Amino acid sequence: MEKTFNAAEAESRLYKAWEEAGCFKAGANKSRDESFTIMIPPPNVTGALHVGHAFNNTLQDILIRWHRMRGFDTLWQPGQDHAGIATQMQVEKMLTATQQPSRNELGREKFLEKVWEWKGEYGGTIVEQLKRLGSTCDWSRNAFTMAGAAGDPRTGHENSPNFHDAVIKVFVEMYNKGLIYRGKRLVNWDPHFETAISDLEVENIEVAGHMWHFKYPLADGVTYTYIEKDEDGNVILEEERDYISIATTRPETMLGDGAVAVHPSDERYAPIVGKLCEIPVGPKEHRRQIPIITDDYPDPDFGSGAVKITGAHDFNDNMVAKRGGIPMYRLMDTKGAMRADGAPYAEEASKAQEYARGKAFTENEIDAINLIPDHLRGLDRFEARAKVVEEITADGLAVMTTSDDPRLGPKPKLKKGEEAPEATTVPLVEAKPIMQPFGDRSKVVIEPMFTDQWFVDAEKVVGPALDAVKDGTVKIIPESGEKTYYHWLENIEPWCISRQLWWGHQIPVWYGLDLSAENFKDDENDGQLDLVELGRLLNEGGMLHRGNVMECAASFEDAIEKFLDDNANIPSPLSHATVIEVADKHEAIHQFAESLAGYAVDQDPTKLVYPVWRDPDVLDTWFSSGLWPIGTLGWPADTEEMQRYFPTDVLITGFDILFFWVARMMMMQLAVVDQIPFHTVYLHQLVRDEKGKKMSKTTGNVIDPLEIVDEFGADALRFTNASMAAIGGVLKLSRDRITGYRNFGTKLWNAFSFAEHYEIPYTGDSQRPEATQTLNKWIIGETAKVREEVDAALDSYRFNDAASALYGFVWGKVCDWYLEFSKPILQGDDAAAKAETQATLRWVLDQSLILLHPIMPFITEELWGHADQRAKMLIHADWPTYTAADLVDAEADREMNWVIGLIDTVRSARAQTHVPAGLKVALLVSSLDDKGQEAWDNNHVLIQRLARIESLTAVDEFPKGTVTIPVAGGTFGLPLADIIDVGSEIARLEKTLGKLTKELGGLRGRLKNPKFAESAPEEVVEETRANLAAREEEEGKIKQALARLQELA
């Protein structure tokens, strides 16, 4: 054998062997009917393996290997998700880097070709990386959330079920059931990528911000007495005001204010509620007036207590605006610049003014209004902010304070001898930390925007998902996850599923011109359109300027049918116009007009077209990954895999995607197939560095799992991951720990090298011998105990307990004691004992390999392979089922523990009395009982060897200067009068005695308390009594020993 395990060489070889033998395939090594299925949380196709993946997949692989060895019909389903925004970004970067035409230059279709190319080339990276960890996914089933979409060349996911069809089918069905709708809502808008993004993709970061204070003058010459009181109700300020004071961190949004809100209980503003005030920006002659309303949202103690309401650009304001029917004016374009569309400001402002004065409005009318003053149009939002502040201040409408106001933030430090400058009057701009939303990929400030999007009406599908957890059908580990889950689901918001991207499942909805004509009069009443009627329809009827009609269908062909049905009621020949697909509405109007013009000339109705255009948006990636459990198994087809593996068993994923993915999978699976997707959800925390900091490129504390694998081997990383995986625990990855577990692997390796050294035959699968030797009986019992411990731990997802049980067994029991104890027998002449011990040792080592395999697959498979003949590779070896009840021999247990205890105590006494390590010493014994004598007789060779004892002599009384070794049933002694320092030996014993006395006090106190005997369980009382007796015996012996030493001193 090599000196150590060569992970770098062996891992790829072993993995290849497994893979080529089909060891990971669904159902491999199946010997029973129960299935066990895990769906991999699909890593992002652009992703590279990070420590979180490494952790997460280690746990999954442990469970999978464990079940596979136990003969379950096991499937670990792999795959990747298409990661709309990330992939699009990656490909765009690549285009720039390689000087290719940009996305917009390429156009949608060509760009998507590039994305598919890119996916084919780089999309498999993470798969290869997962393999290096030893992950035994059924790679032949590798799935992809965009599989089957237009242009899919099927590279890297050759056998993936057609996800596209499944996603589209679900969308159409949910749409038909009224669970999906299109509407205007406030969403997180990324001005860089020009798309809506999910909450998950938003990072809230505290930044140094400012809070401006402005005066909104009251309209119509209104004034009021503003009274400020302190806590006791004393008036501290009373003045006549013709304005209301507003604080804001985003002055540019003032342009879109629809109201000013105050708390209904706020007496200061009660006199002016219902009045109008003026937004102090824009050309003076067109300043907009907005109402002062009441709402519970404003906090009277915060700022001035009055809040400006910009419903289209702030989530809180949006709620207030909704409640109060306040118009929500959109101020920015998709790039986050101030709008430049629409009519001149004067015109737009006067429209808004009418609405503020009470005119009825629709959402779309409001959205069409551009309230940006002409000179600010087209400016970036931050430039616009500066301008707005500048103009208001110049106008004298900023709230002023003195320059020494502490709210303005820290002052520049004065140089020595420098005088503080005279306080001047300055605008009140508070320096204030504010939470600002940033796009996690774009790094730009996210703009809440009121836009048209597609939504899942989550409230309608949340019920079953909630019930499943509440009634225990689905269990979330740790339990705290359930609380979080309830909290979120019970307050669920509509789920925005549209994204303004190209890479993704395009929404299966087509729009057409609204040709319905309610007031149309058919002059001849013949159901036919003549030219006069046609002209009237188009121009007077305003057909071309009306809204759109839309149809949702799984394919364009299906959509055609629906549009034809829609059009059936309009006059012929328009009702039979051929439905064609065009790029957008503009194109549609153009084509439609052209075809009508042609008809006017040749009267050929077959050339009439009805152009429709598809919604350009794509679905949120989470919508497709929400279908992961069924989509990967081939749904909607009624596949054998669906029958066998669905519902799946366990989902192992990060806490952070409980809402975004787990809850949505619950909702969607229940909504679509009316079944739970899995019965257990195991949530874990983020993997951090050893100090508990998040790993990030900026901090420079990122640990690359592949580097760890290179340096320590995959097994060491896996064992570390398992050891960290306490339920709900914080995950701190440290190299020291990894080193420790690498060393553990070496320890195991050396146990085999021990067997080789003693030339123990290793012909094939070992059988458990019927042991006669106490030593062998004992270790067989210990093996049974650890098997039960490991199974119990894995059963309850306590990976750390499984790891530490195995670590303690292999190192602390097998290597530290069993192998040492076996030496004299292996070297001895008793052929029968030797053969039995060889067989036991082989068996114990093999069992260790089996039990360790799920956690450390490589080194164990390698060692397993050292035997000449094996029925199966270790990966498919049979997992043991023996129990401690069957195999633990109480007598052997007691005897070996007695031996171990004696050796420990002798060693300890030797070390503390500085007996040279190599020196063999004599041992004396007095008053040994029968059991003790028997134990000694059976094991004296072991004891003498490991405790370095020369001889044993029975004495009636220990000579002076004997170091006492108390054991159960007797007392041993080391006659060390010549060697020991009496003083320090006395000190040592007194220390031991001190501890003992304290312990005795506790035990006696408890037993003396009558209530203890009454209330405590019988066995606890019994245990305490026995314990007390043993401790008292020990105390006696130590006191005697002390007495002897004191004579000497």
Partner RNA sequence: GGGCGAUUAGCUCAGUGGUAGAGCACUUCGUUGACAUCGAAGGGGUCACAAGUUCGAACCUUGUAUCGCCCA
Pick out residues in 214-273 that bind RNA (CB under 7 A). none
Site for RNA in 687-716 (CB under 7 A): 690-692, 694
- Listed in sequence order, the DSSP H helices in 576-713 are 585-602, 621-625, 628-631, 640-645, 664-672, 705-712
Q: Is 1002 in the site for RNA (CB under 7 A)?
A: yes
Site for RNA in 771-800 (CB under 7 A): 800
Residues 6+ apart with CB under 8 A from 606: 578
Beta-carbon neighbour count of residue 345 at 10 Å?
20
Selected from 367, 405, 558, 820, the binder of RNA by CB under 7 A is 820
DSSP 205: E
Site for RNA in 875-904 (CB under 7 A): 904
157, 120 in Cβ contact below 8 A? no
What are the Cα distances from residue 358, in Å, to 69, 307, 351, 369?
Answer: 74, 21, 11, 16
Selected from 102, 473, 881, 1015, the binder of RNA by CB under 7 A is 1015
Q: Is 907 in the site for RNA (CB under 7 A)?
A: yes
Selected from 804, 926, 933, 1040, the binder of RNA by CB under 7 A is 804
Site for RNA in 966-995 (CB under 7 A): 991
Taken as a whole, the chain contains a residue count of: 1049
Shortest distance (Å) from residue 648 CB to RNA: 25
Stretch that binds RNA, among 41-49, 411-419, 642-650, 732-740 (CB under 7 A): 732-740
Stretch that binds RNA, among 336-344, 565-573, 670-678, 907-915 (CB under 7 A): 907-915
The residue among 226, 288, 232, 285 whose CA lies nearest residue 255 is 288
477, 797 in Cβ contact below 8 A? yes
Site for RNA in 569-608 (CB under 7 A): none
Shortest distance (Å) from residue 159 CB to RNA: 36
Q: Is 680 in the site for RNA (CB under 7 A)?
A: no
Beta-carbon neighbour count of residue 407 at 10 Å?
12
- Listed in sequence order, the DSSP H helices in 733-830 are 735-757, 774-795, 799-807, 819-827
Cα separation, 618 vs 112, in Å, equals: 13
Q: Which is nearer to RNA, 734 or 1040 (CB)?
A: 734
Cα separation, 624 vs 84, in Å, equals: 11
Q: Is 1023 in the site for RNA (CB under 7 A)?
A: yes
Shortest distance (Å) from residue 698 CB to RNA: 14
Q: Is 734 in the site for RNA (CB under 7 A)?
A: yes
Shortest distance (Å) from residue 790 CB to RNA: 14
Q: Which is nearer to RNA, 720 or 962 (CB)?
A: 720
Count interface residues toward RNA (CB under 7 A). Answer: 71
Cα separation, 335 vs 190, in Å, equals: 8
Site for RNA in 180-209 (CB under 7 A): 199, 204
Selected from 19, 173, 711, 999, the binder of RNA by CB under 7 A is 999
Locus of tokens 């089918």: 169
Q: Which is nearer to RNA, 26 or 476 (CB)?
A: 476
Shortest distance (Å) from residue 986 CB to RNA: 15
Shortest distance (Å) from residue 771 CB to RNA: 20
Q: Is 1016 in the site for RNA (CB under 7 A)?
A: yes
Cα separation, 780 vs 769, in Å, equals: 9
What's the token pair of residue 14? 């072993």
Q: Is 302 in the site for RNA (CB under 7 A)?
A: no
Identity at 26, one-letter amino acid code: A
Selected from 483, 545, 546, 960, the binder of RNA by CB under 7 A is 483
Shortest distance (Å) from residue 875 CB to RNA: 24
Half-sphere exposure of 744 (CA within 13 A, CB side): 30
Site for RNA in 386-445 (CB under 7 A): 435
- CB burial class (10 A; 0-12, 13-18, 19+) of residue 413? exposed
Q: Is 1011 in the site for RNA (CB under 7 A)?
A: yes
Q: Is 88 left (phi over 0), alpha (psi -120 to 50) or beta?
A: alpha
Q: Is 751 in the site for RNA (CB under 7 A)?
A: yes
DSSP 868: S
Q: Which is nearer to RNA, 642 or 825 (CB)?
A: 825
Q: Which is nearer to RNA, 671 or 906 (CB)?
A: 906
The verdict on whether omega for the bond into residue 769 sits within 30 degrees of 0, i.e. cis, is no
Q: Is 747 in the site for RNA (CB under 7 A)?
A: yes
Q: Is 913 in the site for RNA (CB under 7 A)?
A: no
Q: Is 1033 in the site for RNA (CB under 7 A)?
A: no
The residue among 54, 172, 179, 183 whose CA lies nearest residue 706 is 54
Q: Is 823 in the site for RNA (CB under 7 A)?
A: yes
Selected from 750, 939, 944, 964, the binder of RNA by CB under 7 A is 750
Q: Which is nearer to RNA, 160 or 453 (CB)?
A: 453
Q: Is 816 in the site for RNA (CB under 7 A)?
A: yes
Q: Which is nearer to RNA, 672 or 819 (CB)?
A: 819
Residue 950 has φ and ψ, to the nearest 5°, of: -75, -50
1038, 996 in Cβ contact below 8 A? yes
Dihedral sign, CA of 906, 910, 911, 913?
A: positive
Shortest distance (Å) from residue 794 CB to RNA: 14
Q: Is 618 in the site for RNA (CB under 7 A)?
A: no
Stretch that binds RNA, among 210-218, 420-428, 562-570, 740-748 (CB under 7 A): 740-748
Q: Is 484 in the site for RNA (CB under 7 A)?
A: yes
Site for RNA in 107-146 (CB under 7 A): none
Cα separation, 858 vs 739, in Å, equals: 17
Instruction: Tell me if residue 610 falls in helix, strand or coil.
Output: strand
DSSP 224: E
Q: Taking CB under 7 A as the rule, which mask of x and - marks residues 309-338 in contact with RNA? A: ------xx----------------------
Q: Is 918 in the site for RNA (CB under 7 A)?
A: yes
Q: Which is nearer to RNA, 459 or 656 (CB)?
A: 656
Q: Which is nearer to RNA, 823 or 940 (CB)?
A: 823
CA end-to-end distance (rounded Å), the chain: 56
- CB burial class (10 A; 0-12, 13-18, 19+) of residue 970? buried
